[in-house]
């Protein structure tokens, strides 16, 4: 029996993960976690016969407990309960909480020396060096789940990383790929979440539309594979069929192709180092006809430039970048700032922090990362308050 836990079980990645888990008789589900959607969390915990279900919110505890009555599944709530659940012995743990809230459970999972399937890219953006060191210290394995990073990981099997000349991650360009700047500034939440190819959670969908998702992924590539920023490229590919390409010193490129279905990347991490059969559609390239590529537009999508500046700064800039982006996204979702203002908020937050000597210090622990995350959230809120005062 292989013991499995899923953090963020009620989300898009979590549901896709459990879809694969439910097809196997040799897996035992240990912990499932979620947020406010306790009805769905309880339903998943019952059907997968989990040992424990944890909601992130203490206020949701009694509703979860009631929904699990008579099921034999334990209920728990709150951030400490999430960390405790991550310490329950498991052979494979999916990290699919959205945002910096995924950091602490991920670190707790690594401490048991297990395999962590990492969808939570924010962990690498905010705390890359500390996370990788923590994994090494405990003999834990981190496997990428982001489709581009799974693609790079697969293209690198059997290759010498020293022979890698460049890594190209693709971006669909999102729903606003062709929109002029004036229209972008007025884009609504409903328009931003209408992703042309991928069905994902609300937050990552907006990040895809703004290219902040690709900005996070640039940093994720740097941190996970240790590739120098100058060797990582972003290529817009509207069909989302080629997920990434790796270029070698002999000029050859290895591309990874697949349908836009996260169950491929999740399943690869689940079966790794073997390959198993997966219930994803098979590509019909003749029917697709053509695959197209274009350069991203830096003027309409400043997020990529900001990510490059963050990599240049190093230290805790990634933690600040992610936190500022989360605050800007919260405000866009709440309707208090416009779509194009998100990049401005992130840039101003980084500016305000640039005189802080703490920004360039290499993170030494999860606590130093979380302290910078907190500070950046305060600065981002200040930047938003100043922006609305000047209006």
> Which residues in this chain contact ligand NAD in the complex, by CB under 6 A?
8-14, 34-35, 56, 96-98, 101, 119-122, 146, 198, 200-204, 262
173-181 long-range contacts (CB < 8 A, ≥24 apart) are 173/236, 173/237, 173/238, 173/294, 173/296, 174/208, 174/209, 174/210, 174/211, 175/209, 176/209, 176/300, 177/236, 177/238, 179/300, 180/300, 181/299, 181/300, 181/340
Q: At a CB cut-off of 8 Å and minimum separation 6, what does 69 contact?
A: none
Nearer to ligand NAD, 179 or 198 (CB): 198
**What is the nearest approach in angstroms of ligand NAD to the Cβ of residue 197?**
10
**What is the nearest approach in angstroms of Mg ion to the Cβ of residue 214?**
8
**What is the nearest approach in angstroms of Mg ion to the Cβ of residue 209?**
13
- Phi-psi sector, 334: left (phi>0), alpha (psi -120 to 50), beta: alpha
**Binding partner selected for residue 56 from ligand NAD, Mg ion, none, CB under the kind-specific 5 to 8 Å limit:** ligand NAD
**Binding partner selected for residue 35 from Mg ion, ligand NAD, none, CB under the kind-specific 5 to 8 Å limit:** ligand NAD
Q: Which two tokens stand for residue 29?
A: 């589900």
**What is the nearest approach in angstroms of ligand NAD to the Cβ of residue 55?**
8
Nearer to ligand NAD, 202 or 313 (CB): 202
Between 132 and 151, how does the x/- string for binding to Mg ion read (CB under 5 A)? --------------xxx---
Nearer to ligand NAD, 97 or 359 (CB): 97
C-alpha–C-alpha distance, residues 217 and 229, integer Å:
11
Q: Are 372 and 321 in contact (CB under 8 A)?
A: no
**Binding partner selected for residue 248 from Mg ion, ligand NAD, none, CB under the kind-specific 5 to 8 Å limit:** none
Nearer to ligand NAD, 190 or 287 (CB): 190
**What is the nearest approach in angstroms of ligand NAD to the Cβ of residue 37?**
6
Direct distance between the N- and C-terminal alpha carbons of the chain, in angstroms, rounded to an integer: 60
Q: Give Cα separations from 373 to 113, 218, 319, 334, 358 (angstroms).
A: 26, 19, 6, 21, 12
Nearer to Mg ion, 86 or 145 (CB): 145
Neighbours of 283 (CB within 10 A): 12
Task: Of 267, 259, 251, 384, give the one whose Cα is nearest residue 328.
Answer: 384
**What is the nearest approach in angstroms of Mg ion to the Cβ of residue 146?**
4
Q: Which two tokens stand for residue 384?
A: 């938003």
**Binding partner selected for residue 340 from Mg ion, ligand NAD, none, CB under the kind-specific 5 to 8 Å limit:** none
**Minimal CB distance residue for ligand NAD:** 11
**Binding partner selected for residue 120 from ligand NAD, Mg ion, none, CB under the kind-specific 5 to 8 Å limit:** ligand NAD
Please report, as ranges, the residues that interact with Mg ion according to CB under 5 A.
146-148
């Amino acid at each position: 029996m292989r013991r499995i836990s899923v953090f963020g079980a009620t989300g898009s990645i979590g549901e896709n993960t459990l879809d694969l888990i439910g097809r196997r008789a040799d897996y035992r589900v240990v912990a499932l976690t979620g947020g406010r959607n306790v009805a769905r969390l309880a339903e998943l915990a019952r059907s997968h016969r989990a040992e424990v279900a944890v909601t992130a919110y203490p206020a949701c505890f009694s509703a979860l407990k009631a929904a699990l009555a008579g099921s034999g599944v334990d209920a728990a709530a709150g951030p400490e309960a999430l960390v405790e659940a991550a310490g329950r012995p498991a052979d494979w743990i999916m990290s699919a909480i959205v945002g910096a809230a995924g950091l602490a459970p991920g670190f707790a999972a690594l401490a048991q020396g297990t395999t962590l399937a990492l969808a939570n890219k924010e962990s690498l953006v905010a705390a890359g060096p500390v996370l990788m060191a923590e994994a090494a210290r405990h003999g834990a394995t981190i496997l990428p789940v982001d489709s581009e990073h799974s693609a790079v990981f697969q293209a690198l099997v059997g290759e010498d990383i020293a022979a890698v000349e460049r890594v190209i991650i693709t971006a669909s360009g999102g729903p606003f790929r062709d929109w002029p700047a004036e229209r972008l500034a007025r884009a609504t939440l409903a328009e931003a979440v209408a992703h042309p190819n991928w069905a994902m959670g609300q937050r990552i969908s907006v990040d895809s539309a703004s290219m902040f998702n690709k900005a996070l992924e640039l940093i994720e590539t740097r941190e996970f594979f240790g590739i120098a920023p100058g060797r990582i490229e972003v290529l817009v590919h509207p069909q989302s069929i080629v997920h990434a390409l790796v270029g070698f010193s002999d000029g050859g490129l290895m591309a990874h192709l697949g349908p836009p279905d996260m169950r491929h990347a999740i399943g690869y991490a689940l079966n790794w180092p073997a390959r198993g059969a997966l219930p994803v559609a098979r590509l019909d390239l003749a029917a697709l006809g053509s695959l197209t590529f274009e350069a991203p537009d830096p003027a309409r999508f400043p997020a990529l430039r900001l990510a490059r500046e963050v990599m240049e700064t190093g230290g805790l800039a990634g933690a600040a970048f992610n936190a500022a982006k989360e605050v800007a996204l919260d405000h866009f979702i709440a309707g208090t700032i416009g779509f194009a203002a998100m990049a401005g908020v992130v840039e101003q937050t980084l500016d305000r922090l640039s005189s802080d000597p703490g920004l360039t210090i290499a993170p030494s622990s999860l606590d130093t990362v979380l302290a910078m995350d907190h500070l950046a959230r305060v600065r981002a809120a200040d930047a938003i308050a100043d922006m609305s005062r000047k209006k």
